[in-house]
Structure 1
């Protein structure tokens, strides 16, 4: 009996020590309010799932993982302040963001504080181009990667069309417009017109003016290089004006939340890109991806979006780097991540060493007809994959990257 009691005490002490160990903290800076709050919800859900999965397997280095969160409202100044607050709380890594501006600002401050920063929904070339540095990694695809898969699909299926662009006047908007004009051969602005909306707080009057200008053109393809609520309101107005009946509408970065808010009828037939959809794990025979989809459905009774997958993958990949290096030191983790290849929620991916861009396959997708969507059990099977491009073909080459960088040809 004494031995049994002694064994139980030892077991309790071991478990107790594990439970009482100081947690390893990571910080998620994401929009709970503002233009991109729906995407922020997906980021939060994916991050929570990853932390729970890691802790269920014993945590990291014998310690539990703890998620700290702060609202960025998609603002660069708030994102920068969030990094400072996380650092003061002892966070060892920061991730998140729904705009390129906040990723650049937060990443710069993280470097100053010796923290790694992983950008999620930050698509401008500048993030890992001119503004890239050793402490910043980007999980999401870049504007060029989206433009290349779209350009190839449109070139094959809708050649020699006249384009009209409505873009948000920020780092990403200018980046995606430039890259898409290049890949589709629509650089001539006299033939392929445009309107620009302010980066924050676009008025309904401004959106209406831009769409009426598009309606008055003879364009056959309308590119809405917008995000968040700007895109939502513009899609509704474009539908009310009947533009979908005579133009193919392109939304470079589509999301589940956009279709849920605008409605499948408004979004039907729209073409865009995603780095991940819930169907991808089955198509690419990814057991980890299929398990993630099943768990997400069980928890939320809906399919996960690419934002949730991005946050989940970042936490898991950072944790794997911690295990490989047996360290929380940022410099050692950079070495463990650079040129590391893996498969987690889809096919092969890699954290490229020279620019810290995540190289992965990118998909052109089309929003299904409402009648098709309603046949799905969850009534959320929104996307049909219409084209796929390997990451190596989509991502900028090292020569192209160095052209963006100017004289600074390596990450500092």
Structure 2
């Protein structure tokens, strides 16, 4: 009887101890608000991924120094997508399991779409941080997916403002990645520049993912033989760098104006000032924007980023930084981390942060914003600049580049998609 009593006491004691440890662990977990960055830490878009991590970490550092969110610190969970859709989706499961109440990140559009679809299954908001395919907020648009940077449609419309003025009646050649993102941009740019004719304005496709030197050499030989005046290099990340290397080796920049529709500072740095010289493209933001237009909050971000990392922020870093602040703003305005409350707070919300006014559109969750057309400066000027990172001269700022709601509805209707995000 004594043995049974002692054994029972020991068992009860052990159970209470286990419950106590579990409660302590749960209490520890509840001390922070967790968000999950789902980004490429490896692969051909790793530089853009690293920029996102830096931007997010700086935002979290600042927010926590100011008291956190609802009395709790913000905590960043991270997972590497390697820009692979299946991996990006699986990461969402793991990040949610670890306690993430919001997710963000991107580079490849297909990875963003896959991750956002999985986030919807968990009823979590997913912010696209990089990824230009029109389908993200078009055909694949859904209730839990928001995109902070611009779309291919928006970039193409801004670029067309420049190209239709300064490159009017020129012959174009499109060097396009064989991805939905590549096709999306080419189609939009052809439409807005009136270069739809494939005979008059030819194209070559490169494999996606992982094109190699010979792929670009073969495509660029066609470009050289075409007699084109304008070469549209519709490539991202390291693929753009490979293309520019071959363009330089073949002396094509002496014969053609080179357009890279979607540029980032990270891509420019990877290519280097010599290869980038005079390349024209579009950006949703560049660190020169706050200084050219006198946006005080944008200047604060740039200077804090340089102090923290001894680097200037790219648009990828700015996007991640802005998303964290917009999430926190929505939590503060609603007093809640409930997903449905946050969606309602974000939809049609107008704000100013790193540049002029931006809007989270309610019908498609695309961020409405100014788009900038830029040209890479001369090599010697870049080499003499602060940190050798002053790559871009702003040629134009273009607003109202977004797809109109009736056009968005037409695209959705043709493809049998609901006209209200679900």
Structure 1 CA distance, aligned partners of 2:172 and 2:369?
28
After the TM superposition, which of the residue ranges 52-61 and 199-208 deviates more from structure 2?
199-208
The residue aligned with 1:286 is: 295
The residue aligned with 1:403 is: 410
Give the CA deviation at 1:372.
1.4
Within 5 Å, which residues of 2 pair with 1:81-120? 81-120=90-129
Structure 1 CA distance, aligned partners of 2:401 and 2:60?
31
Give the CA deviation at 1:52.
0.7
Give the CA deviation at 1:377.
2.5
The residue aligned with 1:3 is: none
Instruction: Give the secondary-structure state (helix, strand or coil) at the position aligned to 1:394.
Output: coil
Structure 1 CA distance, aligned partners of 2:284 and 2:144?
23
The residue aligned with 2:401 is: 394
Structure 1 CA distance, aligned partners of 2:293 and 2:170?
33
Structure 2 CA distance, aligned partners of 1:281 and 1:404?
35
Matched, 1:244 2:290: no
The residue aligned with 2:165 is: 156
Structure 2 CA distance, aligned partners of 1:346 and 1:72?
29
Matched, 1:327 2:328: no
Instruction: Give the secondary-structure state (helix, strand or coil) at the position aligned to 1:95.
Output: strand
Check whether the contact 1:19–1:64 (CA below 8 A) recurs between aligned residues: no
Matched, 1:174 2:183: yes
Give the CA deviation at 1:121.
0.9
Check whether the contact 1:21–1:64 (CA below 8 A) recurs between aligned residues: no
Pick aligned residue for 1:385 from 384, 394, 413:
394
Check whether the contact 1:236–1:266 (CA below 8 A) recurs between aligned residues: yes
Instruction: Give the secondary-structure state (helix, strand or coil) at the position aligned to 2:182.
Output: helix
Larger Rg: 2
The residue aligned with 1:343 is: 352
Q: Give the aligned CA root-mean-square deviation in angstroms.
A: 1.3
The residue aligned with 2:208 is: 199
Give the CA deviation at 1:50.
0.8
Check whether the contact 1:340–1:350 (CA below 8 A) recurs between aligned residues: yes
Give the CA deviation at 1:90.
1.0
The residue aligned with 2:217 is: 208
After the TM superposition, which of the residue ranges 281-290 and 100-109 deviates more from structure 2?
281-290
Q: 1:28-83 deviations in whole A, cap 9, x for unaligned?
A: 01111101001111000000011111111111111111000011001101110111
Give the CA deviation at 1:157.
1.1
Structure 1 CA distance, aligned partners of 2:372 and 2:40?
25
Q: Which runs of 5+ in 1 are unaligned?
A: 1-17
Structure 2 CA distance, aligned partners of 1:316 and 1:99?
23
Q: Provide TM-score, normalisation by structure 1.
A: 0.94
Check whether the contact 2:350–2:357 (CA below 8 A) recurs between aligned residues: yes
Q: 1:71-104 deviations in whole A, cap 9, x for unaligned?
A: 1001101110111101111110000010110111
Give the CA deviation at 1:374.
2.1
Within 5 Å, which residues of 2 pair with 1:2-401? 22-390=31-399, 393-401=400-408
Check whether the contact 2:273–2:383 (CA below 8 A) recurs between aligned residues: no
Aligned pairs, how many? 393
The residue aligned with 1:12 is: none
Give the CA deviation at 1:258.
2.0
Give the CA deviation at 1:375.
2.5
Give the CA deviation at 1:19.
9.5
Runs of 4+ in structure 1 deviating by more than 4 angstroms, as ranges, are 18-21
Check whether the contact 1:373–1:380 (CA below 8 A) recurs between aligned residues: yes
Check whether the contact 2:229–2:257 (CA below 8 A) recurs between aligned residues: yes
Give the CA deviation at 1:21.
5.6
Give the CA deviation at 1:158.
1.3
Structure 2 CA distance, aligned partners of 1:110 and 1:339?
22
Structure 2 CA distance, aligned partners of 1:275 and 1:149?
10
Structure 2 CA distance, aligned partners of 1:272 and 1:20?
44
Structure 1 CA distance, aligned partners of 2:290 and 2:141?
30
Q: Which runs of 5+ in 2 are unaligned?
A: 1-26
Structure 2 CA distance, aligned partners of 1:262 and 1:287?
30
Structure 1 CA distance, aligned partners of 2:334 and 2:306?
33
Instruction: Give the secondary-structure state (helix, strand or coil) at the position aligned to 1:339.
Output: coil
Structure 2 CA distance, aligned partners of 1:115 and 1:365?
35
Q: 1:262-286 deviations in whole A, cap 9, x for unaligned?
A: 2111110000000101011122322
Check whether the contact 1:278–1:305 (CA below 8 A) recurs between aligned residues: yes
The residue aligned with 1:6 is: none
